[in-house]
Amino acid sequence: ENKFTQTQAFVVKKLKSNPRTVNETFKYLVDMDFMKKQGTAYIVNPKYVCAFGSDKKNRTIAINYSYDEPTLFD
């Protein structure tokens, strides 16, 4: 699965890091199209997670990721 459901506060605590650093890192990863925010979760771009696993699972991940992409009509 390509969903990351932990909070930034959880990451700060686990990594013993600075909240600002974690927040800026998450923003950077979103800006670089590595992941996007969907509700309270972050979804990793399928082009980075589909290297392994079945074709069916990879296809499902790619389809689910693209549902939130804006279209010409949005």
The residue with greater pLDDT, 41 or 46, is: 41
The residue with greater pLDDT, 8 or 59, is: 8
The answer on pLDDT for 53 being more than 90 is no
Quickly state the pLDDT bin for 64 (edges 50, 70, 90).
low
Quickly state the pLDDT bin for 14 (edges 50, 70, 90).
very high
Do the strands 35-38 and 3-4 form a parallel or antiparallel pair, or are they unpaired? unpaired
**CATH number at 3-66:** 1.10.10
Tokens of 52: 């392994």
- Residue 70's SS3 state is coil
